[in-house]
Amino acid sequence: MIDPRFERLAKLLIEHSTSIQPGEHLLIEAFDVPDAAIATLVKACRKAGGHPHVALRSTRLMRELVQDATEEQIKAWAFCDIERMKKMQAYIGLRGSQNVSEMAGLPEETMKMYGKHYMNPVHIDQRVNHTKWCALRWPTASMAQLAQMNTERFEQFYFDVCTLDYEKMARAVAPLAERMRKTDRVHIKGPGETDLTYSIKNIPVIPCTGSHNIPDGECFTAPVKESVNGVMQYNTPTIYEGESFENIRLEFKDGRIVKATCEGGDNDTLNSIFDTDAGARYVGEFAIGFNPYIMKPMKDILFDEKIAGSLHFTPGQAYEDADNGNRSDIHWDLVLIQREDYGGGTISFDGEVIRRDGVFIVDDLAALNPESLKG
C-alpha cells in the first residue's frame, strides 16, 4: 500500500512545482530514496501525460566516483548528463542521504574540479536555465538527527512543511516582490557585528512558492555586485561539501569579501572556498525566508534558507533570472536568522524598516508572518 503522503507530495510536484504538460519529458534524479516514492512520482507524471525518466543515485557511490576521478572522467560524465538534460523539459531532484557528511575529507582540488566540470555545466548552466526544475530533500534518520527529532516525528514534520498551501503563499509574497522591485538601498542589522548596506536597484526579483524547491518560502534577488559594504555575521551552522562551519563572519568592501572568519570550523578551509575563483568573494543572491513551519536550523540548506524570520546572503554564482553579473563555481547559501530568539535584527528598504526581529511590521507584508501563512 502506497503511503498517502507520497501521493500528496507527488501531486504537488507534478501539478504545481513542475506543471508537467502532455508530451513533456521529466527526469527524476533520486538519491537514496525509497522505490515506492519514485514509483508514485512516475505514475503521477504519466497521469499528467508526461514521459518520466529515472536516474538512481547513491551518495556513497557518488563519493567513490568523485574521490579518485580524473578531469577526463568528469568531463565525459558531464557530457553524457548534459545531453540527457537537453532532452528534458522538467527535472525533479529527490535527495535523501544516510550521511550528510559523506563527501567530507575529499581533496579540495578534487571537489573544485567536480564543481567546475560537472555540477556547474550540468546543473547550474543547463538544468537551472533550461528546464522547469524542483529540488527537494527526502526524510531520513540522518536528517532527523540534525533536526533533533525522532524519525517518525521528523517524517511528519517533513510532509507538513512540504505540502503546505503554496498558492496562498504566492498571494502573500506578491507585495514583498513589488517592494523589492522598487527598492534601491537595503540595510541589514543583526546580532554580533552585522551591519551591512547594498543596492538591489534594477535587479530582477523572484518569489519562490513551491516551483523550484520543496519546501519553499523565499523571495530572492541579488545585490548590485560592487555595492556591498559592512559586516555580515551569520548565526546558522552550515555544511559545505561535507565540512561543517559555524558563526561565519564576512567583511565586505565595495562588494568583495575582504575578511572571512568562523568560530566553528577551519578558517583556512573557509578562505580556500572563497578563493575558488574571483567571483567566490562576491555575492550572487540576497533572499528573505518566510516558511511558517521551519523555525530552527538543521544544517540542510533547502530547509534552513526558508526559516521564518531569516535571510540568506550568498557568496558566488548569481542566478540568470536575477543576475548581477557575478560568475563563480560556488553558490553558498549562508543564513542569518533575525528573530528575537536568535538575537533580533532589522531589514530596511530605502530607510524604512520592513521587518523587525523576524516579523514583518508593514501592513502589506503582514500576510507573510507565520500566524497568517499557517492559518
pLDDT, one tens digit per residue, over 177-235 is 999 999 999 999 999 899 999 999 999 999 999 888 899 999 999 999 999 999 999 99
Identify whether residues 102 and 39 lie together within a single domain: yes
| Nearest alpha carbon to residue 95 among 45, 34, 33 | 33
Identify whether residues 115 and 189 lie together within a single domain: no
Torsion angle of C-alpha atoms 68, 71, 89, 56, degrees rounded to 10: -10
Identify whether residues 148 and 280 lie together within a single domain: no
Identify whether residues 294 and 189 lie together within a single domain: yes
**18: containing domain:** 4-162
Mapped onto helix, strand or coil, the DSSP state of residue 223 is coil
Identify whether residues 271 and 365 lie together within a single domain: yes
Last residue of a domain, one of 162, 186, 219: 162
* Mean pLDDT calculated for residue range 294-306: 91
Last residue of a domain, one of 139, 162, 185: 162
Query: Is pLDDT above 70 for 269?
Result: yes
* Mean pLDDT calculated for residue range 165-188: 97
* Mean pLDDT calculated for residue range 21-48: 97
Identify whether residues 332 and 222 lie together within a single domain: yes
Q: How many domains does the chain have?
A: 2
Query: Which of 134-138, 246-250, 255-259 has the weakest average pLDDT?
Result: 134-138
CA 247 to chain centre: 19
- The pLDDT score that the predictor gives to residue 213 is 85
Predicted confidence band at 148 (pLDDT cuts at 50, 70, 90)? confident
CB-based contacts of 123, cutoff 8 Å, min separation 6:
none
- The pLDDT score that the predictor gives to residue 375 is 64
pLDDT > 90 fraction of the chain, expressed in percent and rounded: 82
* Mean pLDDT calculated for residue range 89-96: 95
Identify whether residues 145 and 178 lie together within a single domain: no
| Angle made by CA atoms 130, 44, 161, in degrees to the nearest 5 | 80
Identify whether residues 126 and 188 lie together within a single domain: no
Predicted confidence band at 300 (pLDDT cuts at 50, 70, 90)? confident
Q: Within 13 A of 112's CA, how many CA atoms are on the CB side?
A: 12
Q: Name the average pLDDT for the chain.
A: 94
- The pLDDT score that the predictor gives to residue 161 is 85
Last residue of a domain, one of 162, 194, 217: 162
